[in-house]
Chains A and B, each alone.
Chain A
Amino acid sequence: MERTDLISERQLSVLAFSGLLSPLIRMLPRSAVYLAGRSAWLSPAAAAAAGAAYFALMRALLRGRGLRDGLAEMAGRALGSAGGKVFCAVSALWLTFYAGFIARSAAERLLSSVYTDGSAPMFSALLLAASAAAAACGTKTLARTAEIFAPVILGIFALVIAFALPDVRAANLLPVTYKDAGRILLGSLPITDIVGASVYFLFLLSHVEKKPGEGKQPLRWMLLQMLVILGVMVITVGSCGEKLTLHLGSAFFMVIRNISILGVIERVEALVITIWITTDFLLDATLLMTDAEILRGIFGAERRAPFVIPAAAGAAASALLAAKSAFGLQPLSELLVPAANLFFAFILIPAVLAVGKLRKKL
C-alpha cells in the first residue's frame, strides 16, 4: 500500500461533497417533488437531519478503526477473510456498475441538453477515460483536485441560485403547514439515499490520516451540500411550480436556461453543464479509485493503479449495456440505483460493521 499517499478527513469530505452533487442534481427536485409535492423544497432540511444521524451512527461503528484501516480491511476483520472478500467482491461489482451508470447518465444529459446529435457511448467513454486517468493517480491528487474544484462549484451554484431567485414565486412554494411534515420527510428519502452513498468513500479510509479536530468535517460538508440542494430546490420549484417540475425531465436545467445576468449575459447553461460534468468526473474517478482499491485488497497486490483499467473497462461495459436508450436508463435511475444505494449504505455496510462490533473484532 502506498503509505505516503495520505489525505485528510476534510479532503475526503470535500471529495464526497463535490462528487455526490452529480446524482443529487440528477434526481432532484423531481423525485422529491414526486413524493412531497409543493413542500418538497423543505426536504433537504429533513435530509440534513437524517444525514447527520446517519453520520453519527457510522462514526460510532467506525470507532474501532485502525490507523490504516479502510472499509475493506474492517470488513475482513468483522467477517473473517473469506467473508470479507465476498463483501468486497460484491461491493466492487456494484461500484463498477455504478461508475458506468454515472457515466452513461452524464452522457444522456449532455445529449438531451446541448449536443443533441452526439453519441452516448462516446461521451461515456470519454468521461470514463478521464476518470480512469485520475483514478490511476494518487488519492492525494484526486482529493486535491476536488479541493480546487469545490470553491468553483460552490461559487457557480451560488451565482446561479442568486440570479434565478427573481423568478421564484411564493405561490409556487407556499402554503406549507404542519400537515405537510410527513410528505417533507418522504421527500427527503431520495436525498438521504444519495447522502448515504458517501459510505462508498469509506473504502478509501485506509488513505486517510487521523488528525485531531477533523471529526466534524464530514458533517459540515454534508450540511453545505444540503444548503446547495435547498437552493436548487427553491429556485426550481419556486420558478416552475409543482406540476411543471414533475412534467419536465430536468426542471433545474430549464431554470438555468432562463437565467439572465442583469440583462447582459444570458444562456449560462454551458457554465453549469461544465460544473455538472466536473462533479460527474470527480464521482466517477472516486468510484473507480475505490473499486481499484477493493480489487487490490482482494488480490493482495501492492499497487492499486493496475486495477483501475479493469475497473474502468467494467464500468464502460455497464455504461454501454445498462440501457439501450434514455428510456431504459430511467427505471435504473429511479428504482434500481436508489434501491441498491439504500441496501449498501443503510443495510449491508452498517450490518457488516455491527457484526464486527458484536464479535468484538472492531
Chain B
Amino acid sequence: MKKLTAALLAAALCLSLSGCSVGGLFSNYREIDSLELVRTIAVDKTGDAVLATAGSGPLAEGGAPHISQAEASTLSLALEELQRKPQGREALLSHTETLLVGEDTARDGLDFVLDYAERSPDIRLKTNLVVARGSGAGELLKKAASERSSVAAALETMKDSLPASGKGCLFTCADAACALAERGCALLMAVEAAPPVEDDGAEISVAPAGLAVLKDGRLAGFLTEDETAGALLLTGCFRGMNADIEYGGARVSLHLSGAKCSLEPVFGDGRLLRADAALSVQADLDALSGSGDPNNEDWRRGAEEAVSELLCKMAVAALARSQAMDADFLGLGETLCRRAPLRFGSQCGNWAELFPRLEVRVTAGTVLRRTYDIDNPLGASGGEKEDHWNELIS
C-alpha cells in the first residue's frame, strides 16, 4: 500500500512538473518562439520620465532587429510596459548584453540604471554599460538597425577588437558599480554615430568614441584618443594597438602588444613623495616606408625610443586628465596601496587631497621583436637587400 501511494504521488508530481499543464508548478513557462531575445536596452531620460528602447540583434530568418519603446516614470516600469506590449513576441530581458545610455541622461546621473541592474532579477551585473556620445541612446539604437547590422552586433565585434586597438574597452555594470563604490569614479566605453557602412542599409553605423569618465555617478567627460590609450595602458586593459611613428625620415607602422604597467610608490621624509609608472611593451614592425634599416641595431634602438615616447605621452595625458578632473579613475591609489600597504597607510595621509597634486613619473621601455620576415619593403630598398647579402658573403 505504501509503495502504491508513493508511486501515485510521484506520478502526480510528474503531471505538475511538466510545464505544459495549466496550474503546473512552472506557471512562467513560455514557448521559445514566442520570445523576443533582447540584446540591447537603450535608456534615455525625457523630463521626469524614462524612455526605454529594446532591440534584438538582426533576425536569424532575415530582417531588421525588432525595436520597441516604452516610457514610464521609472526604468523598471518602462521595461515592464515594454514586455507587456502586444507586439507578437514577449521581450525576454534576461540575456540583455548591453545597457546603452544617452549622453544627456548619463550627464544627469547613472544611479538609476545601476540601481535597476542591481535589483532586477532579469538584468545581470555583467551587462555592458555603454554611453551613446552625442546622441540619445534610443535614437542610436534605431538608426543603426538594419537587416545586416545593429548596435548589439557592433558591440559584439568591439568586445574583442577594442582592447586590441587601444581605442577602448567594454566595461560592465559591475565594473562601474564597483569602481563608483570604491573610488567615486569609473570608466565606461562610449560609442557614437558614424557614417553608414556601404550596402548596410542602416542610417548610421556605430563607432567607438573613447572612454567616458563617471564621477559621483554622473558623466563628467570623455577621454581623447591618446588619453584613452593611456588609461588602458595604466589600468592593464591594453591588449594592443597599431601605432604609426615618424622616425629617421621613415614612416614606421608597428603593432604594439604585451603591455605591462608597474606602479611603485616612492616614499621619503615620512610621506609619499611621488609615484613611478614603468610601462613596457613589445612592438612588431608591420610596415616601413621611406629610408630605414631594421637590421641596424642603432636604427632599432631609435625606433624603440620613439615608441616609448609615444607610450609616455599617452600615459601622461591620461594621468593629467585624471588629476585635472580630481577623479582617480585609473585606480592609482588602490594600486599604490597594494604595492606597499603598510607604508601607504601610514605615510600617504589623505589620498583624496594628495591625488590631484601627486607627481607621477612615467617611463617606458619598448622591445622591437620582429619584422615578419621582411628586412626592407619590396621596391623601396633599391637592391639594398642584395647588397646586404653580398656584404655578408664577402
Contact = CB atoms under 8 A, between A and B. Distances in A.
Interface of A: 112-114, 116, 167, 170-172, 174-175, 177, 179, 239-244, 247-248, 254, 257-258, 260, 266-267
A175 B121 contact: no
Interface of B: 94-95, 118, 121, 124-126, 174, 177-178, 181-182, 331, 334-335, 337-338, 341-342, 345
A177 B342 contact: yes
Given A244-B181, A254-B124, 20 more contacts: A113-B121, A114-B121, A170-B338, A171-B331, A171-B334, A171-B338, A174-B338, A175-B337, A175-B341, A177-B341, A177-B342, A240-B177, A242-B182, A243-B178, A244-B177, A244-B182, A258-B174, A260-B126, A267-B94, A267-B95
Contacts of B178: 172, 240-241, 243-244
B95 A266 contact: yes
Contact of A247 (B124, B181, B337, B345): B181
A348 B388 CA distance: 92
A53 B177 CA distance: 40
25 contacts: A116-B121, A167-B174, A170-B338, A171-B331, A171-B334, A171-B338, A172-B178, A175-B337, A175-B338, A239-B174, A240-B174, A240-B177, A240-B178, A241-B178, A241-B182, A243-B181, A244-B181, A254-B118, A254-B125, A257-B124, A258-B124, A258-B126, A260-B126, A266-B95, A267-B124
A113 B353 CA distance: 41
* Secondary structure of the A contact surface, majority rule: helix
A258 B175 CA distance: 12
A227 B3 CA distance: 40
A167 B125 CA distance: 12
Q: Which of A116, A167, A177, A244: most chain B CB closer than 10 A?
A: A244
A112 B119 CA distance: 8
A24 to B, nearest CB: 22
Contacts of A247: 118, 177, 181
B120 to A, nearest CB: 9
Contacts of B94: 267
A204 to B, nearest CB: 25
A248 B337 contact: no
Q: Which of A112, A170, A247, A260: most chain B CB closer than 10 A?
A: A247
A248 B118 contact: yes
Given A174-B338, A175-B341, A266-B95, A257 B125 contact: yes
Contacts of B118: 247-248, 254
Nearest to A118: B27
B125 A258 contact: yes
Nearest to B175: A169
A39 to B, nearest CB: 11
B335 A171 contact: yes
Contact of A241 (B126, B181, B338, B342): B181
Contacts of A175: 337-338, 341
